[in-house]
Structure 1
Amino acid sequence: MLEPIGQATAAAQNIWGDATQWGVGTGVGTVSGGFEFPSVEEIDAVLSSWRARQASIAQRGNTLELMVSSLTQQPAEDDATTGYIATWAQSLTQLRDQHRSMLEYIEDYIKKLEAAKQAKQAGEAENEAAVQKTAGDLAQ
């Protein structure tokens, strides 16, 4: 059983419930097991959600790019403004880099979900073929 670790764990358990009750199984391509989706339809629902999130985050990237490019025009040439603009440019650049990294992570995660979907579909097709073969053998 998982031992509670502070407020973060309690908050997560309030949202997701007791993690010890989650089904964990071995999946295609996993070494030590992992979450197994009950159906292709559920994978499609999760994929849809992640694609929508990806589009939303990508749209925010357009705003970030506009903000970074707007820093080329400094409103004044005094030391305070120059320092402020330099700090703002550094912060925005770091935010843009983090944003790009997040989009790369999401893209990679979507690829993994698509691979899981293909594996699930292949597994279901194999199971269906085995059932049909067994049914055909019993009919003879």
Structure 2
Amino acid sequence: MKNSIKVQLGDIYAISTKKGLGFLQFVKSPENEKNDVELVKVSYDLHTKIPDDIERFFLKDFFYLQFPVKAALKKGIIDFVKNIDLPRDFVAPRYFRTEHYLHRAEWLIIDKKTNEVEHVKSLTEEQLKFSPNSVWNDTYLKERLEEGWKLENWK
């Protein structure tokens, strides 16, 4: 029998970086367990300890990311902090973006609902707020948090 890791929507996890603790909240299960990973909200802030009011980090200054929560938890890469219920009206974002793989100065906008992809040469103000359409491993996530990576600077 498989030993499965239990995670619940709303779980908050800490990840250690060279500059402090980063925090992520599990917000959506994969649609296809074989090919997809969990969706998380990632706080930009790093802290020396777990703050008492950690839930406030996930209210405004964060981005979304596909991150292998169960695998990272199983390997001890992230630590459970607490569970905070997602708002009743929470809906995972529909649109994500990624740099065009052939034309580096251009972008692809991905509609997760329809799987349609739009090719754009420059991003609108709204599109600048779209999170990355990629899976980040723990090393890449730590590096981005340590360097202060933010969506609005990803142009």
TM-score, scaled relative to structure 2: 0.19
More helix by share: 1
More strand by share: 2
Q: Which has the larger radius of gyration?
A: 1
